């Protein structure tokens, strides 16, 4: 077997080619469009159209796309019934994983991997994941059911379904903006999971279910939830330095059980995640409506310490935490929001994998025992 190079976590290694998204140390582009440009000038549905259809929509195309997505927000009755019977303590990410799997049973094109069918399923899943999050909020948080407003963005409607009412225009815009920032990120863990499943020529619903499982972990999508719980643990801005020192002391005493400071660092963005600065500014705007500027103060103090002493910058999960909290969204829904956005990127990658496929099957480096002979069972002591 040819000699190969091993790097833990495949760090820095190219595992495939894509035209969907491009991540560099200084930029993030969706099919060539800069993320800052998209965040400033587009709504999320325009960005979803770019990812799924390849380019920006016309006004007519956008209206038709939005109508198709919103029409998918009525879940099949058996799926609604299944959600209503799930234990209330079920993690919302598990609910979404199960819902997507169940939806495959009721989608007439579930087993059709043609591009046209996959595109239609992608649009349906975009509406269905949002509807599933809203349904779970009705089940657990007892919020009122809110029908999507055809004149509002996907983010504004998603926020309304989570809190049981339409929020302010600013809150709707910020939520829609976070969906833009989270929509695609090249070969991250969940997208690579989706592509690996797709490479076996499995179906769209199986691929997305697997991606949700990968996103659930606190080192991937769950980091935004962990970051907010961290802010709540700190309590107030003046506690930041003591909290930080206590964590450092704990890690010195317990090197095998270190506490991670969540919301910092990125495998690619060594000099800072530019999505984080965009979202921080939106969160600052929210404080003018909520009066909760202490979260920004707290976050900035901790960020300064991490940069000074660890030379580590925040990632986009860091400001997402305090932005979502200001909008009154339950913490355990932060990662499901991620799903409602990233499903577009996943589906784009799944279609790309299906259309130029070779099964993903890397090598491993064996580090176990050398060749051993089997000792007969009666002679094993």
> Which residues are identified as catalytic?
220, 266, 317
The answer to whether 72 and 128 are in contact (CB under 8 A) is: yes
Residues 6+ apart with CB under 8 A from 310: 264
DSSP conformational letter for 6: -
Question: Using CA atoms, how far apart are residues 260 and 248, in angstroms rounded to an integer?
Answer: 10
Residue 322, both tokens: 């305090």
- Answer for the pair 348, 198: CB distance below 8 angstroms, yes or no: no
Q: How many angstroms separate the most distant Cα atoms in the chain?
A: 79
Closest CA to 184 of 26, 15, 28: 28
In 3D space, the residue among 279, 267, 260, 269 whose CA is nearest the CA of residue 318 turns out to be: 279
Q: Which residue has the tokens 């998209």?
A: 38
Q: Which helix (H) or strand (E) holds 34?
A: strand 33-34
Backbone φ and ψ for 29, nearest 5 degrees, come out as: -125, 140
Q: Helix, strand or coil for residue 23?
A: strand
**Residue 224 tokens, joined:** 């935004």
Q: Which two tokens stand for residue 25?
A: 């140390």
Residue ranges of alpha helices (H) inside the chain are 35-41, 44-53, 59-71, 77-85, 92-106, 115-140, 154-163, 169-182, 189-198, 204-215, 223-234, 240-253, 274-290, 294-310, 317-326, 334-355
């Amino acid at each position: 077997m040819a000699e190969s190079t091993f790097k833990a976590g495949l760090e820095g290694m190219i595992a495939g080619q894509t035209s969907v998204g491009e991540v560099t140390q200084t930029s993030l582009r969706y099919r060539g469009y800069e993320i800052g440009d998209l965040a400033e000038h587009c709504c999320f549905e325009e960005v979803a159209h770019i990812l799924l259809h390849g380019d920006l929509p016309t006004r007519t195309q956008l209206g038709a796309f939005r109508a198709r997505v919103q029409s998918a927000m009525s879940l099949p009755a058996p799926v609604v019934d299944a959600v209503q019977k799930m234990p209330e303590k079920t993690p919302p990410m598990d609910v979404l994983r199960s819902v997507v799997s169940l939806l495959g049973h009721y989608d007439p094109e579930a087993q059709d991997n043609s591009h046209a069918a996959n595109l239609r399923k992608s649009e349906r899943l975009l509406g269905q994941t949002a509807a599933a999050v809203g349904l779970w909020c009705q089940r657990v948080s007892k919020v009122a059911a809110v029908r999507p407003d055809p004149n509002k963005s996907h983010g504004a409607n998603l926020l309304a379904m989570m809190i049981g009412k339409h929020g302010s225009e600013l809150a709707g815009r910020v939520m829609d903006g976070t969906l833009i920032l989270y929509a695609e990120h090249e070969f991250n863990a969940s997208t690579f999971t989706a592509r690996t499943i797709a490479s076996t020529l499995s179906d769209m619903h199986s691929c997305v279910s697997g991606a949700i499982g990968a996103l659930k972990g606190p080192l991937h999508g769950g980091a935004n939830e962990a970051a907010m719980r961290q802010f709540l643990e700190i309590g107030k801005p003046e506690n930041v330095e003591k909290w930080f020192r206590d964590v450092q002391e704990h890690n010195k005493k317990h090197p095998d059980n270190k506490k991670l400071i969540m919301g910092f660092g990125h495998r690619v963005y060594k000099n800072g995640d530019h999505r984080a600065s965009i979202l921080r500014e939106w969160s600052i705007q929210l404080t003018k409506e909520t009066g909760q500027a202490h979260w920004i103060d707290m976050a900035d103090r901790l960020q300064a310490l991490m940069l000074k002493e660890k030379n580590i910058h925040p990632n986009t999960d860091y400001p997402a935490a305090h932005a979502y909290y200001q909008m009154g969204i339950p913490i355990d829904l932060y990662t499901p929001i991620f799903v409602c956005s990233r499903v577009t990127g996943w589906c784009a990658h799944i279609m790309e994998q299906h259309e130029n496929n070779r099964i993903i099957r890397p090598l491993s480096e064996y580090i176990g025992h050398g060749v051993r002979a089997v000792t007969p069972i009666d002679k094993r002591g």
